[in-house]
Amino acid sequence: MPVITAVLGDITTQDVDAVVNAANKAMRGGGGVDGAIHRGGGPAILRDCLARFPDGLATGDAGWTTAGDLPARWVIHTVGPNYHAGQRDRSLLESCYRCALEVADELGARSVAFPLISTGVGGWPHADAIEAAIETIAAAETGVDEVRLVAFDEAMHKRTRAAVWVRCPPPFDTDSVGSLFEREPIQYSLRGDFYLWLELRARFADTPLPDDWFTLRTLIMDTIEQVVGEHLTSRESAPWHDRVGAIYVPEFDPGHGMSAGAVHVPWWVHTGVPILLDRYAARREPGTFPAG
Ligand code: APR
């Protein structure tokens, strides 16, 4: 399985062997990623499209051309389904990723940057499009070692990153704050807590453990506040089953609605963070608990 990373930026600037274009069936250029790739790569791409694909490409299929003036060597064009136009068969979207990786293998490309196919003009619901991308790439038998999922805007990037961290958690240093998150708790309160746990593990992957537990607690709480976008104090004493204790975080929502993306503040304050502090104390002086 290739290492999957989420990147915020413009796909045309990616320094990889191949960039993937979200093309249309005619393969003669368009807007969005397609327009950016043709503009950035210059007329050589269109010339190659005309020569190699006189009849265009079918939805779900993929084929390659030169990348012209782009840093990449090849462009792999694929045609995503248009959800707005009623093309809602998910296997067509999955096929784009699978076929593009097959083409990458034919070319011997080892690193490939994908846009989130069908999420622009194509109108596919974002959370599901991201899941389809990650699932398909993770399941592909391919010689590609590195896949970048490139999102153009911050919200899409955060969503993609959270979903990537669930499936491909980045490695952490042994003495990092991230290492405290290695074993997951037996039970979370809400589904968003699971995403937040993995997000914190990744964010703290190379943060050295501080010298005292109070600094650690402050660091974790501040970071949680940063992620959820709110101070925790007003919600920490909410009764356990009261929705008031939950904060909805869009990037933790895998597309199933409100509670699916919610982080439960009382769980973090009274369970999640204490678990981490206990682990910290056990590491520093086995058998002791944080004082105070
Ligand atoms: N780099 C990375 N991502 C980008 C860039 C860029 N330069 N430009 C746009 N995006 C993002 C969009 O924000 C969206 O999330 O790529 C995603 C895919 O959007 P589209 O390019 O609209 O692709 P898609 O939804 O698959 O629709 C394809 O659009 O332009 C036409 O010819 C194209 O008909 C085809 C259709």
Does the beta carbon of 56 sit less than 6 angstroms from any atom of ligand 1?
no
Q: Is the pLDDT of residue 250 over 60?
A: yes
CA of 105 relative to ligand 1 center, distance in Å: 24
More confident residue, 172 or 243: 172
What pTM did the predictor assign?
Answer: 0.93
Residue 172: inside a domain, yes or no?
A: no
- Segment 187-209 mean pLDDT: 96
- Segment 32-37 mean pLDDT: 98
Ligand 1 atom showing the smallest separation from residue 22 Cα: 26
Domain residues for the domain of 90 are 3-167
Same domain as 226, residue 82? no
Strand ordering across the sheet containing 146-151:
3-8, 146-151, 111-115, 18-23, 74-79, 62-66
Whether 97 and 134 have beta carbons less than 8 Å apart is answered as no
**pLDDT for res 286:** 61
CA of 292 relative to ligand 1 center, distance in Å: 53
Same domain as 150, residue 12? yes
Same domain as 111, residue 195? no
Residue 188: inside a domain, yes or no?
A: yes
Q: Which helix (H) or strand (E) holds 41?
A: helix 32-41
Dump pLDDT digits (tens) for 115-140. Answer: 999 999 999 999 999 999 999 999 99
Q: Is the pLDDT of residue 263 over 90?
A: yes
**pLDDT for res 288:** 55
Long-range contacts of 49-54 (CB under 8 A, 24+ apart): 49/77, 53/27, 53/77
Residue 94: inside a domain, yes or no?
A: yes
Choice from 24, 27, 33 to test ligand 1 binding pocket (greatest atom count within 8 A of CB): 33
Cβ–Cβ contacts within 10 Å for residue 219, how many?
A: 15
Ligand 1 atom showing the smallest separation from residue 122 Cα: 25
Q: What sign does the dihedral 25-100-121-71 (CA atoms) show?
A: negative
- Segment 278-282 mean pLDDT: 95
CA of 212 relative to ligand 1 center, distance in Å: 47
Q: Is the pLDDT of residue 289 over 80?
A: no
Ligand 1 atom showing the smallest separation from residue 123 Cα: 25
Same domain as 201, residue 63? no
How many separate domains does the chain show? 2
Dump pLDDT digits (tens) for 153-163. Answer: 999 999 999 99
Same domain as 278, residue 209? yes
Mark whether 173 is an active-site residue: no
Same domain as 250, residue 132? no
The lowest-confidence range among 3-7, 143-147, 195-199, 283-287 is: 283-287
Give 73's pLDDT tier (boundaries 50, 70, 90).
very high
Same domain as 145, residue 36? yes
Query: From CA 208, how far away is CA 204, in angstroms rounded?
Result: 8
**pLDDT for res 187:** 95
Query: From CA 156, how far away is CA 130, in angstroms rounded?
Result: 9
Same domain as 87, residue 16? yes
**pLDDT for res 239:** 86
Say which of 15, 17, 34, 145 is annotated catalytic: 34
Residue 292: inside a domain, yes or no?
A: no
Q: Compute the C-alpha angle 175/179/180, nearest 5°.
A: 110
Ligand 1 atom showing the smallest separation from residue 30 Cα: 32
Q: Where does a domain end: 133, 167, 201?
A: 167
**pLDDT for res 240:** 81
- Segment 1-22 mean pLDDT: 97
Give 178's pLDDT tier (boundaries 50, 70, 90).
very high
Does the beta carbon of 119 sit less than 6 angstroms from any atom of ligand 1?
yes
What residue's CA is closest to ligand 1, atom 5?
Answer: 33
Alpha helices, H only, 110-264: 126-139, 154-167, 191-203, 213-228
Q: Which of 15, 162, 128, 155 is nearest to 136 (CA)?
A: 128
Same domain as 16, residue 138? yes
Q: Is the pLDDT of residue 42 over 80?
A: yes
**pLDDT for res 292:** 47
